[in-house]
Amino acid sequence: MKELGLKLKYYRENCELSQQQVANVLNVDRSTYTYYETGKTTPSASTLLKLAKIFNVPCSVFLESINQELDLNSLVADSVDNKKSSDTGSYEADEKIYNLSKEEKDMLIAYRVLNKNGQEKAQEYFKKLTGK
C-alpha cells in the first residue's frame, strides 16, 4: 500500500498536521498511523472515511490508491460513487490550511469528523459564543 501511504502523508503534511494529531483523532497509537503512511498496514474502510473527513478530501482519493495497487476494480466500483463533481478534484497547495495554531487545527479536525447534525450544532454553539 505504498501509494496509499504516500497520499496519506501528502494530505497530512498539506494540512500541517502531525502524525500524533491524526492518530489522536483516529484513537490509535501514533505508530499505527505511521504504519498506514509507510504501507506496513492498511487502514480499515471506516478509518479511511475518517481520514477523508480529516483531510477534507473525497474518500475516492484513497480508494483509488487501493484499487490501483490491489486491482480490485469491481470492489471499488461498488463502493465509490463515480459521479464527477463540479470541482477539479485537485487538492494542491491552495487548499492548505495556513496560520492555524495546534488548538485550532485540533478543533477543525474534530469538526470535520462530526456528522452533519453535529456540525450544525457546533456552528450554532459558536454563533452563540461569538454573538454572530
Give the start-to-end residue ranges of the domains of the chain.
Answer: 2-81+94-130
Q: Contact, 32 vs 23, CB < 8 A?
A: yes
User: What architecture is the 2-81+94-130 domain classified under in CATH?
Assistant: Orthogonal Bundle (1.10)
Task: Name the least confident of 56-65, 66-75, 84-93.
Answer: 84-93
pLDDT band at 47 (very low <50, low <70, confident <90, very high): very high
Return the pLDDT at 127: 84
- The average pLDDT across 34-56 equals 91
- pLDDT, one tens digit per residue, over 97-114 is 556 787 888 888 888 888
- The average pLDDT across 85-101 equals 50
Per-residue CA distances from 72 to 10, 52, 63, 78 (Å): 23, 20, 10, 10
- The average pLDDT across 82-105 equals 54
Q: Contact, 115 vs 26, CB < 8 A?
A: no
